[in-house]
Chain A
């Protein structure tokens, strides 16, 4: 046995331990794209839902939120949110499947199942809670709740994938708590949490693991 063989032996052990215990096929690129979709969605929501005061008073050049409790506004908002959500999930699935193939990791194995389960529990709970509050008209709670529960789901899932996911989750939770203290800025916090943080984190993951 040469030194090279020994090094290879150790490298193969390290790789198999990682591949067997962590789902390492999550794609960083899909994080970047999800962030971009979220920012586009937030921009459209801003223009559709916020009233341009300029039309009322020509001296004012900013927008304020329109009557958000009107049924029309709520449905526009929900449709936008769902389009962004589905586009992000679809991109994530496609890119992750591609990466899993390249890494030789089964896309539907023990690990991806455990990962999805641990993500799904807080997400479903948070999703249902969001709908209950929406139905009751507590619109101001939506941004903090979605951010906090999304953060919890990431922290829960991080045991089964890159540990970096945990820090993203903690950041989302902190952001959600700040959003809860500043009602009225929900859209801004959404844009930061789902847009900006995803782009930053996705780029880091891309540079670190996708190359």
Chain B
């Protein structure tokens, strides 16, 4: 069976978004600042990618306060986790397929 590249999730075409999903797949919750440090990108860049994932309903936002500082946490939804898993499976199959050629 031939698997086409268009089976890969469009939402994960961007590297940062895929990285965000990887972090949220490995951790129950992750906060904005730690995510920023880990991925080493700017506030604006990270925020826009988070927004995009939120719009796909792949992640949910939890806002709270730590003392007076706002603390924003992100969590992957079941839909997001499934999409991430499918994406990885497709990547794996693509690699297998190319090795076979």
Q: Which residues of A contact B (CB under 8 A)?
A: 1-3, 6-7, 9-10, 12-13, 16-21, 104-106, 109-110
Contact A16–B23 (Cβ < 8 Å): yes
**Cβ contact of B91, chosen from A9, A17, A20, A106, cutoff 8 A:** A9
Q: Mark B64-101, 1 if CB is under 8 A from A, else 0.
A: 00000000000000000000000010011011001100
Interface of B is mostly: helix
Interface of A is mostly: helix
Most chain B beta-carbon neighbours within 10 Å: one of A9, A12, A20: A20
Could you list 18 A-B pairs, sorted by A, with CB under 8 Å? A1-B5, A1-B94, A3-B95, A6-B91, A9-B18, A10-B95, A16-B19, A16-B22, A17-B25, A18-B26, A20-B22, A20-B23, A20-B30, A106-B34, A106-B37, A106-B38, A110-B30, A110-B31
Q: Which residues of B contact A (CB under 8 A)?
A: 5, 15, 18-19, 22-23, 25-27, 30-31, 34, 37-40, 88, 91-92, 94-95, 98-99
Look across to chain A and name the residue whose beta carbon is closest to the beta carbon of B23.
A20
Residues of B within 8 A of A105 (CB): 38
